[in-house]
Structure 1
Amino acid sequence: MKNQYHILNGDCLRQQFPKQIDGEVIVARECLVDGEVESDSLDELFKVRAKFITVYGDYSIEDYYSKSVSEFEKIQKIPKRTEINLWFEDDLFCQVNFWFSINLILNSVQDCNVFLIRPTVHTQYGFGGLNEFELIKAFEQRTQIIDIEKIASLWNSYQKNDTKKLIKTAKELEAEFPFIYKAVEAHIDRIPNENNPGRPIQSLIEIMKELETESFVPVFREFNKRESIYGFGDSQVKRLLDEIKNNR
């Protein structure tokens, strides 16, 4: 059996992960797209994230260290001369976690071959819309990542909110990874300015107006149809809706 590791984008994929594919499974159990990420070290980042994660109510600081940090520590302990497969989708939620995971690999694992696996058909359901055969096919069509440093630098730019460098790097990668540029654009579009609260909030305001309701389920469903590029789950959308209501 190959010395092979799989870093998955969530527990849903872990539950449906094909048994025919060998290797150790690690889950990137985070939502780095939401909340504070600025820090001077990895330990400090985990402290910042552990504190933030409690806003979701059902995930404590202790949970964060036992369920999230423990998985990232597994990445740091991957031995050299291995194959690392990253299973991530194109939306911003997945991409930010992907950039962080690549950065962690770059700084922790020596002499490894890194591959990216994406859904063969890109819908709002991502890997969740694929059956076992389709997941195996996606794995067989994986893409080797040669320029790990450049993708890893996306995390550094995102963490520092350096949008100019994010755009520059995304354009340099666009020929091979066009989905990265689209995710970076979506991130920049969500930054509020004097005239606009940011694309996700503006979209939610328009959806509530068009549907004539503030009920979460229909608004969340429509948001995911229109703004699948963000990959937000119910927790992220609920936070945005609460922000809209509190600002009225």
Structure 2
Amino acid sequence: MGNSILHITNGDTTTNYLQKLHFSGDFITWREMLCEGKTTTDVGSEKFWKNRFDFFKSTYKVSKQKFINYTVKEYRNLCNKKEQKEIVLWFEHDLFCQINMLAVISWLKRYRKGYHISLVCSGKVENSNKMFGLSELSEEQITDHFKNRIDLNQDDIEYADYIWQLYCSDSPLRLETVYKFKSTSPFTYLATALEAHLQRFPSIKNGLNTIENNILKTANNHRFTSKDELVHQLLKEQEVYGFGDLQYEHKINNLQNLFSSFNPVYISKKGKQVLDNQVNFYGQLRNDISYLGGSKKYSFLFQNETKKLLQITS
């Protein structure tokens, strides 16, 4: 594990774990959540960061100083790391990580041409049905993952960049047709993550997407004394999203008109009607500022039976 390696990790937990295990080399932590909010293809540009700050400010009330200190300064550190010829990417199987991974590879394609890029991706582990995060792996497992890391060739890098371009386009329809066709891709978990992404567009049945429907269903099927308990359960049950508590709290707040109480948690009569597809809530949720990648969330509808998207033209 020589010093000529630059590790780019999916978060501080992974960075701290690798350093604790004495992995040598330099570390950059990619502190973003590009699976939410508007994204543009030009990763790292002034326009890119402006879009990202606008999203964090409006959605999560993040101050400019915090955004600069937490995210942009670390990105600038990445820009200054040019001496290491091998770059190892550490990302996980979930949607959160896979979208960040695509963006990082797109940036590397543009700014680190000719560098040796390899990927460590956690998920399935032998003799277990559970999907593992990087920090959940034992020292032996994570060392094995590192030894067996996948070298990304130019075709792999081009493919990841292409999927990133499609993710950032103003229509997800092209992404819907191409993401599952590259069966030899080293990106083992990408197809599943992108499938989950497409199901984040509102359902034609009731106007809620898969995640929002699951929030209502979970609230209806359990007895929670508080919103925190509901969030805890959602975090425990999620398999493919990789969201944190802040993201779920935001999604629950957007659905607050479908709840009659949060202490304890009860969904309202209308909430039950929406959950049973008797009422369509699309009109109450629709806005022009919610983006998934480069696409407006409410410009497309997901058909549950065919698992296809429809574009709303009016």
TM-score, normalisation: structure 1: 0.89
Q: Whose helix fraction is larger, Structure 1's or Structure 2's?
A: 1
Corresponding residue for residue 173 of structure 1: 182
More displaced, 126-135 or 232-241? 126-135
Structure 1: which 5+ runs fail to align? none
More displaced, 120-129 or 78-87? 120-129
- Cα shift readout 1:9-52 (whole Å, capped 9, x = no counterpart): 00111111144322110000011112222477721120121122
Q: Distance in 1 between matches of 2:102 and 2:193?
A: 11
Structure 1 position 118, deviation (Å): 1.6
Structure 1 position 121, deviation (Å): 4.0
Corresponding residue for residue 191 of structure 1: 201
Q: Distance in 1 between matches of 2:110 and 2:80?
A: 11
Corresponding residue for residue 70 of structure 1: 73
SS of corresponding position for 2:122 = coil
Corresponding residue for residue 160 of structure 1: 169
SS of corresponding position for 1:114 = strand
Q: Distance in 2 between matches of 1:142 and 1:40?
A: 27
Percent identity, please. Answer: 25
SS of corresponding position for 1:86 = strand
Corresponding residue for residue 135 of structure 2: 128
Corresponding residue for residue 118 of structure 1: 121
* 2:90 paired residue among 84, 87, 90: 87
Give yes or no for the alignment of 1:236 onto 2:247. Answer: yes
Amino acid aligned to 1:102: I
Structure 2: which 5+ runs fail to align? 260-314
CA gap of 1:81–1:25, structure 2 versus 1, over 3 A, is closer
Structure 1 position 80, deviation (Å): 6.7
Corresponding residue for residue 282 of structure 2: none
Q: Distance in 1 between matches of 2:232 and 2:184?
A: 32
Corresponding residue for residue 223 of structure 1: 234
Structure 1 position 193, deviation (Å): 3.6
Corresponding residue for residue 17 of structure 1: 18
Q: Distance in 2 between matches of 1:168 and 1:78?
A: 37
Structure 1 position 137, deviation (Å): 1.8
SS of corresponding position for 1:6 = strand
Structure 1 position 60, deviation (Å): 1.8
Corresponding residue for residue 56 of structure 1: 60
TM-score, normalisation: structure 2: 0.71
